[in-house]
Structure 1
Amino acid sequence: MVDSMGGTPGVDGGGVGGGVEGDGRDIVTVPARQGLEAVDILRLGAGVGPVLHDRSGDSLEFLVPPGTADGWDVPGSSCRSSRGGGGRVAGAGWLVPPHTDAAVNDPVTLRAALDEAARNVELAEGFTESA
């Protein structure tokens, strides 16, 4: 359910600029370039769940199921729990808002997309340097 300001009650505090408010989901944070590439990969494949951006353009945050942080070990990223309110993302907005198709991103699929995205970014950066 989306409120009149485009937010999802209980997920982002509602409205523009809301963040995750300790609803139990974990949050995977990645650099923006890799994250945007992963979003494209997910959209073309299995589908993408909710994704936040930090408005500064530095990072993206993928919402994943609770417990993902316990075993997350993808280089160049971090994963934290939003349980207990520690996961509030101040000043963030939705790049991909929550929807009924995918309440969270599947951690296995996200890991594969982030790995592919990292390779793509590395290849693009190498191509740019040699040009």
Structure 2
Amino acid sequence: MPTMHLPSAAGCTLHDAGHTWDAIRVPRSVGLSSMAILGARCGAVVDDPLSPALYFFVPLGTADAWDVQNTRALTVGSTVTIPPPRRTDGPGPHWRMCPGDDRWLTDPDALRAAIADALGPAREGRKN
């Protein structure tokens, strides 16, 4: 099935996940901390203030084994709103980290570790 590209009035397009990449939806506050932890290892990231969430792009197949609490893996059957190139401010979805020719994807193991580090202090105070 081809990737869907439906334009919106704001210039954003919907793209199907699970064809050339999967995506990981992370709550905005955790995602921002994860980006800081990842630093230069961070790939492209979409900030959707309406959700509010950040979307990290990861290699195809990552969603099959993704099991990180409070996040959601997106693959076939899910779409991600992609902003126009270089839109780094809202309103609406925008790039928190713009993609480059070699910087679309974040390593899933590095992302998993960054999310765990970002959630670390909150986890310690929680009771199961």
- Structures share a fold, TM > 0.5? yes
Q: Which amino acid aligns with 1:39?
A: M
Q: Which has the higher helix share?
A: 1
- Alignment RMSD: 3.0
Taking the TM superposition and a 5 Å limit, the aligned residue runs for 1:75-94 are: 75-81=69-75, 83=76, 86-89=78-81, 91-94=92-95
Aligned-partner Cα distance in 2 for 1:17–1:118 = 34
Q: Tell me the CA shift for residue 97 of structure 1.
A: 1.1
Matched residue SS, 1:98? coil
Q: Deviations over 1:61-91 (max 9, x none)?
A: 101111111000001101011x46x313275
Moved over 4 A (4+): none
Instruction: Measure, in 2, the Cα distance between the counterparts of 1:36 and 1:61.
Output: 11
Contact 1:19 1:89 in 2 (8 A): yes
**Where does structure 1 lack aligned partners over 5 or more consecutive residues?**
1-9, 127-131
Q: Which residue is equivalent to 1:34?
A: 30
Among the aligned pairs, what percent are the same residue? 33
Please give the secondary structure, in 2, of the residue aligned with 1:42: helix
TM-score of the pair, normalised by structure 1:
0.69
Distance across 1 between alignment mates of 2:42 and 2:11 = 20
